[in-house]
Structure 1
Amino acid sequence: MFRLTKKVAVITGGASGIGLEISRAFAKQGAIVHIFELNIDLAEREADLINANGGKAYCHKVDVSNQTDVLKKMAKINAIQPINILVNNAGIAHIGDVEKTTEADMDKIYNVNIKGVYNCLHAVIPFMKSNKGGVIINLCSVAATVGIAERFAYSMSKGAVYSMTLQVAKDYVGENIRCNSISPGRVHTPFVDGFIKKNYPGKETEMFEKLSATQPIGRMAKPEEIGALAVYLASDEAAFVTGSDYVIDGGFIKLNN
Structure 2
Amino acid sequence: MRFEGKNVIVTGANGGFGRAAALRFSSEGANVACVDLLKDDLSDLLNEISSSGGKAIAIAADVTQNTQVEAYVNETVSEFGGIDVLFNNAGIEGLISPLENYDEEMFDKVMEVNVKGVWLGMRHSADAMRQTGGGVIINTASGAGLMATPTMVAYGASKHAVIGMTKTASIELAPAGIRVNAVCPGVINTRMMRSIEEQTIPENPEEYVKAVSERTPLGRYGEPEEIAGLVAFLASDEAAYITGASYVIDGGLVNA
Q: State the one-letter code of the partner of 1:32.
A: N
Partner of residue 92, structure 1: 92
Rounded to whole Å, the distance in 2 between the matches of 1:204 and 1:121 is 36
For residues 200-234 of structure 1, what are the alpha-carbon distances to aligned partners after superposition, in whole Å with 9 as ceiling and x for unaligned?
45624333222322311100111100000001000
Partner of residue 184, structure 1: 185
Rounded to whole Å, the distance in 2 between the matches of 1:208 and 1:137 is 28
Partner of residue 70, structure 1: 69
Contact kept, 8 Å, 2:201 with 2:207, in 1: the verdict is no
Measured after TM superposition, the shift of residue 197 of structure 1 is 4.7
Partner of residue 213, structure 1: 214
SS in 1 for 2:175: helix
For structure 1, which runs of at least 5 residues remain unmatched after alignment? none
Aligned residues: 254
SS in 1 for 2:9: strand
SS in 1 for 2:24: helix
Contact kept, 8 Å, 1:36 with 1:60, in 2: the verdict is yes
Q: State the one-letter code of the partner of 1:160.
A: A
What aligned pairs does 1:14-33 form with structure 2 within 5 A after superposition? 14-33=13-32
Contact kept, 8 Å, 2:92 with 2:192, in 1: the verdict is no
Partner of residue 249, structure 1: 250
Give the TM-score of the pair, scaled to structure 2: 0.94
Rounded to whole Å, the distance in 2 between the matches of 1:180 and 1:83 is 16
Partner of residue 118, structure 2: 117
Rounded to whole Å, the distance in 2 between the matches of 1:83 and 1:99 is 42
What aligned pairs does 1:29-40 form with structure 2 within 5 A after superposition? 29-40=28-39
Quote the RMSD (CA, aligned, Å).
1.5
Measured after TM superposition, the shift of residue 194 of structure 1 is 4.5
What aligned pairs does 1:46-195 form with structure 2 within 5 A after superposition? 46-80=45-79, 81-94=81-94, 95-195=96-196
Q: State the one-letter code of the partner of 1:163.
A: G
Contact kept, 8 Å, 1:48 with 1:57, in 2: the verdict is no
Partner of residue 228, structure 1: 229
CA 1:120–1:49 in structure 2 vs 1: closer, same or farther (change >3 Å)? same
Rounded to whole Å, the distance in 2 between the matches of 1:37 and 1:14 is 6
SS in 2 for 1:14: coil
Deviates more, 1:51-60 or 1:126-135: 51-60
Q: State the one-letter code of the partner of 1:185.
A: G
Measured after TM superposition, the shift of residue 15 of structure 1 is 1.8
Rounded to whole Å, the distance in 1 between the matches of 2:173 and 2:195 is 39
CA 1:163–1:22 in structure 2 vs 1: closer, same or farther (change >3 Å)? same
Deviates more, 1:216-225 or 1:50-59: 50-59
Q: State the one-letter code of the partner of 1:10.
A: I
Rounded to whole Å, the distance in 1 between the matches of 2:166 and 2:52 is 33
CA 1:66–1:9 in structure 2 vs 1: closer, same or farther (change >3 Å)? same
For structure 2, which runs of at least 5 residues remain unmatched after alignment? none
Q: State the one-letter code of the partner of 1:212.
A: S
CA 1:170–1:252 in structure 2 vs 1: closer, same or farther (change >3 Å)? same
Percent identity between matched residues is 34
Contact kept, 8 Å, 2:3 with 2:29, in 1: the verdict is yes
SS in 2 for 1:213: helix
Q: State the one-letter code of the partner of 1:216.
A: P
Contact kept, 8 Å, 1:35 with 1:43, in 2: the verdict is yes
